[in-house]
Structure 1
Amino acid sequence: MGILDVFLHCFSYTFLLGAFTVVLFMYLISPSSFSTKKHGKEPPGPRPLPLLGNLHLDLKKPYNTLLELSKKYGSVFTVYLGPKKVVVLAGYKTVKEALVDYDDVFGDRNPLEIIRELTQSHGKLLLWSNGDSWKEMRRFALTNLRDFGMGKRACEDKINRQVQVADRKNLPFTDAVIHETQRLSSIVPTALPHKTTRDITFQGQFIEKGTTVFPLLTSALYDPNEWERPHSFYPAHFLDKEKTFVKRDAFILFSAGCRVCLGESLARMELFLFFTTLLQHFRFIPAPGVSEDELDLTPAVGFTLSPLPHKRRAISRM
C-alpha cells in the first residue's frame, strides 16, 4: 500500500468519524429535545433524525402511523417530514375545536412548495389561497355552483336519473350504507395542510405562528369515543332505534369550518343518485375464478386514496 493509499484511507476514516460525530450531535440537540420555556411546552412527538425527520412513517399508510402515534403522544403532537415541522391534530373533538372553534387561527392553508411555484406562475388557486383573495374566490365558486344547480331540483335533471334526492328519506338503510362506506373507506385521510395565523396555546400545547398543521380526518372517522364499532362496517352507526337515518357530527369527511369542501352537497347528491341507480339496475359480483376473499381492499396511496383495480361482473336485474 502506497503513501497516497494510506493517506486516502486515513482521510476517509477521519471524514466518516467526523460526519458521524456531527450527525450524533445534531440528533442530541434536535428541536424535539427543547421546549418553549417562554410560552409553554410544545406538542410532543418522536425524536427526528437531523434533516431526515421521522423516517419510521409507513409511506404506504402514513395515516395509520399517525393514528398510532396519537395513541402514544396524544391528540396534539409533532412529527418532522424531513426538516419540516408538522403538528398533527387527532380525534374528533380536537379536529373540530381547531377547525371550527379556532378557525381564525387554523384556517389558513400552507401550500406545498410545488403548489406555491405553480400559483405564482399561473395565478391563485382556491384550495391554497388565503386572506381576501381566498374569500373572493370562494364567493365566486359558490355563485357558480349555485348557478349550476347545487342543492336544487334542476341539478337532478342535469344528471338525468330515475331516482331523486327526495327519495333519500324513504331509503334510510341505503343512505346509511353510503355514509358508512365513506366513513370506513375515506379517500382523504387528512385535510390539506393548514397553518397557524398566530401563536396559540391549544389544549395546553404551544404552537407558534406559521406552523404547518395536519388535521387527521381519519382519526375523527375512526374515533372510538364517537363510533360503536370504528373499524368495522356497521351501517347502524347512522340509524336510530326506529331505523331512521341520523346525521353524525363526527362524520367530517369533507373537513370542517371555513375550509369545508364547497362541493359537499353536490357530491352527496351525485353519490346517492349514482349509487342507488346502479344497484337498482345491476348486481355486482367478482369475476369468474375470483373469490370475495381474494379481493384486496387495501387502497393505492397517492394524493388521495383510491381502490386497486378489480375485475367485476355487473349482472342486470332487468
Structure 2
Amino acid sequence: MDYSLDLFSLTSLLGTIALILLLYIINNSLTGGESRKEPPGPRPWPLLGNLLQLDLKRPFVTLHEMSKKYGSIFTVYFGPNKVVVLAGFKTVKEALVGFAEEFGDRGPSKIFNDISQGHGIIFTNGETWKEMRRFALTTLRDFGMGKRLAEDKIVEECHYLIQEFEKHKGQPFDTTRPVNHATSNIISSIVYGSRFEYNDPRFKNMVARANENIRLSGSVSVQLYNMFPRLCYWVKNRKKILTNVAETVNDVQNLITNLKDTLNPELCRGFVDCFLMRKRKTEDLHTLMTQYHEKNLIYSVTNLFAAGTDTTAATVRWGLLLMAKYPDIQNQVQQELDREVGSCQICAEDRKNLPYTDAVIHETQRFANILPLSIPHKTSKDVTFQGYFIKKDTLVIPLLASVLYDENEWENPHIFNPSHFLDKDGKFIKREAFLPFSAGRRACLGEGLAKMELFLIFTSLLQRFRFSPAPGVREEDLLLTPSVGFTLTTSPHELCATIR
C-alpha cells in the first residue's frame, strides 16, 4: 500500500479546504462582515423554478399565501428567474421608502422591454428615467395636476360622461367603455391640449388597444413568455400586444405631427408642446446625449395615456359595482351628498365636508386592489435588508395586495368596509397602509390627478344617478371576483343608472 500517495491526497484536500476558508474570510472582511444569508423560499425545480406552485392566473394570491409560510421577504423562482417578494405593509414601506435607492430601479420584464424599447417613463432606468420622470412631473404640475386647472378639465369631462349614461335611459349597460373614454380624455387634454369626441374612431381604437394590452400583459401565455422568451416568443397574445403597440405609435406620431405643425412657442397647449419646445431648445444648443428625442416623446405619451386610462377607470367601475351591490352604503353616500352639496356642482373643495363619501372611495381603492403585484422593481446595488443579502439586479416584487389586505393593519381586510377610514365620530382618517399608488421613487407620478379624478367622477355620478343591478339580478349575485389581467378589473357585468 502506498501510504505516501494517501498522505499526499489528504494534504491536498486539507490545503483546498484551507484555501476556501481563507477566501471566504477575505471576502467576508471586504464586505464588512455582512451576512450573506439570502431570503428563504420554496425549493425550485431546475429550469421550471416554482412554476408548478404558482397560480399564473392570480399569482398575487399564491405569493400572499407563501408569505405566511416563508415570511415578509422570501425568494421564489418564476421559471429560471429569481425573484424576491416583499410582503406586508411594514416590509414594503421600509424597502421602497427607507431603501428607496437600493430598490428603486425598474425590474426587467421581457414584454415591457419589447413594448417600450428602453424609452419613456414607466419601464426605464438611469438617466432616461430620471429626466423623463422629472420633466413629466413638472409639466403635469404646470397643467394643474391636483389644482384648479385640472379640476376644470375633469368637471367638464364629467358632464360628457353623465350624458353618455343618460342615453341608456335607466336600461342595463356595461359601464366600461364610457368610463374608459372619460378617464382617457382627461389625460389626453393634458397631454395633447384637447379632448376627443367619444365616437372618434382613432380615439376609440387607442383606448381599446391600451386596455387590451394591459389585460393581455397579465395573461398566462405572456407570463410564460417573460420567463422563457426564446421558447415562447411565438405566443399569440405577445404578437397581439406588439401589433397594438405599432398601431398606437403610428396614431401618436400623427397626433404629434399635427401639434408640431401648429406649435406656438407663446402658447403651450399640453405635454407634447412642452416636450417639442424643450427638444427644439436642446437642438439649438447642440446638446449631445439629450433625452429629448422623438422616441422618448412617443413612449412617454403612450405611458401617460395607458396609465392615466386603465387604473382610474377600473377603480370607478369597481366603485359603481360596489354601490349597486351594497345599496345601504350607496344610500349613505347620496344622503351625505344631498345634505352637503345638494344640486350644486361638486368641486374638489367639497371633499373635506364629505367624510363618508371619501371613506367609500378610499375603501374602493383598497378593496379593488387594482395593481396587486405593483410593477416589478430591481435592486440597483447589492443590499442587506432585514438581515438578508440581495444581489444587485435581482427582480423584486413589492406585493401591494399584501399591504392593502394586511391583517395587522386592517380590521376586516377581506370585507368592503368604509369604516376602515372613519373614526368613532365619523370623521375621515388617513391610514398609513393605504398604498394603492405604491411608494418611494417609483410611486405613481399621476397620483394627485388620479385622486381628484376619482373623487369628482364618483361623486358626480352618484349625485345624478342611482345604480342598481340589471332586472332579474339580485345584489348578492353581483360578482366581486376580478377579471384576469395585469391590473384587476371587474368581471363583465351590466348596471342600471337611473336618474335620481
What TM bracket, shorter-length normalisation? 0.7 to 0.9
Aligned with 1:266 (options 444, 449, 467): 449
- The RMSD of aligned alpha carbons is 1.5
TM-aligned CA deviation for residue 232 of structure 1: 1.3
Over alpha carbons, which structure has the higher Rg? 2
Shift, 1:279, TM fit: 0.7
The code of the aligned residue for 2:392 comes to: K
Partner amino acid for 2:444?
C
Aligned twin of 1:247: 430
The reply to whether residue 150 of structure 1 matches residue 170 of structure 2 is: no
The one-letter code matched in structure 2 to 1:210 is D
TM-score, scaled to structure 2: 0.54
Aligned to 1:200: 383
What 5-or-longer segments of structure 2 have no aligned partner? 1-26, 29-34, 159-344
Name which of 71, 79, 82 aligns with 2:79.
Answer: 82
Partner of 1:33: none
Q: Do residues 51 (structure 1) and 47 (structure 2) align?
A: yes
**Aligned AA (1:48):** P
Greater strand fraction, Structure 1 or Structure 2: 1
AA paired with 1:65? T
Name the CA distance, whole Å, in 2 between partners of 1:267 and 1:165: 12
Structure 1 residue matching 2:411: 3-state secondary structure: coil
Deviations 1:253-282 (CA, angstroms, capped at 9, x unpaired):
000011110100100101000101111111
Name the structure where helix makes up a greater proportion of residues.
2
What displacement does 1:94 show? 0.2
Residue 204 of structure 1 and its aligned partner are, at CA, apart by 1.3
Alignment of 1:11-30 (within 5 A): none
Runs of 4+ in structure 1 deviating by more than 3 angstroms, as ranges, are 117-120
Q: Percent identity?
A: 66
Alignment partners' CA distance in 2, 1:111 and 1:209: 13
Moved more, 130-139 or 253-262: 130-139
Per-residue deviation at 1:139?
1.3
Q: Which residue of 2 aligns with 1:73?
A: 70
User: How many matched pairs?
Assistant: 279
Output the CA distance in 1 between the equivalents of 2:477 and 2:449. Answer: 34
Match of 2:440 among 244, 257, 262: 257
Q: How does 1:101-116 map to 2 (within 5 A)?
A: 101-116=98-113
SS of residue matched to 2:84: strand
**Contact 2:359–2:418 (8 Å) recurs in 1:** yes
1:184-211 Cα shifts (integer Å, max 9, x gaps):
1111001111111111111111111110
Matched residue, 2:471? 288
Structure with the bigger RCO (C-alpha within 8 Å, sep 6+) is: 2
Aligned 8 A contact 2:44 2:76 in 1? yes
Flag structure 1 segments of 5+ consecutive residues without an equivalent. Answer: 1-36
State the 1:101 CA deviation: 0.4
**1:64 matched to 2:61:** yes
Please give the alpha-carbon distance, in whole angstroms, between the structure 1 residues aligned to 2:53 and 2:370. 23
TM-score normalised per structure 1: 0.84
Q: 1:201-259 CA deviation, whole Å, 9 max, x = no partner?
A: 11111111110000001111111111111111111111122211111111010000111
**1:303 counterpart = 2:486:** yes
